Amino acid sequence: MALAVPSPKLQALLKDFQQIASMSGYLNHAFDPPQLRLFFTLYGRVMVASPEDGLALTPQLQAWCDTVSSRLREGSSGTIMQPQVQVSAPQTMPDGRDYLVATLTFNTKVTETSYLRIRTAILAAYQEAVKMREAGFSVLAETPATSSAPEVLPSGDGAERP
């Protein structure tokens, strides 16, 4: 029994998805012709002033993950499986800065004819992660929230959850 060789088109699609994933995560894959199985990890990282501020922002980071997860599912018409989400405790970098990280892992199958919708949803999710890494929640928040008013975060978090 001969193994089916992936088409040049599927191999090209893999390279495209690998470039997207390199923005803020990574990608594992398996060829299962005529499909390409993709296993993504997306990192949402936000810098915080202190571990205490990180704890205060944890609900907002969880809400961001929930929003990204919903957009991935909706944008791909349910082709992307529900992401698994893990939000870390505040961590300290070697240079002394503190940060929070959310890890979203998800998978999907792509064929030569079904990739565009999936690609668009995944690209948008990775772009959101890059925006958050570069600018924090200030750019992403619909209503202004600062670390000096952490009481506002839980109520904003509850409003964003489905």
pLDDT (tens digit, 9 = 90+) per residue, 1-56? 556 788 898 899 999 999 999 999 999 999 888 889 999 999 999 999 999 999 99
Question: Does the pLDDT of residue 113 top 70, yes or no?
Answer: yes
What residue ranges do the domains of the chain occupy?
Answer: 8-155
User: What per-residue confidence (pLDDT) applies to 158?
Assistant: 34
Residue position matching structure tokens 């109520």:
155
- CA nearest neighbour of 162 among 55, 39, 71, 42: 71
Average pLDDT in the 51-72 region?
Answer: 94
- CA nearest neighbour of 68 among 25, 104, 115, 110: 104
User: What per-residue confidence (pLDDT) applies to 106?
Assistant: 96
User: What per-residue confidence (pLDDT) applies to 150?
Assistant: 28
Query: Do the Cβ atoms of 108 and 76 come closer than 8 Å?
Result: yes
Angle between helices 8-21 and 115-135 (to 10 degrees): 20
The pairing of strands 35-48 and 25-32 is antiparallel
Q: How far apart are CA 44 and CA 87, in angstroms?
A: 9
User: What per-residue confidence (pLDDT) applies to 151?
Assistant: 27
DSSP bridge partners of 100:
46
User: What per-residue confidence (pLDDT) applies to 138?
Assistant: 64
pLDDT (tens digit, 9 = 90+) per residue, 69-96? 999 999 999 999 999 999 999 999 999 9
Predicted confidence band at 154 (pLDDT cuts at 50, 70, 90)? very low
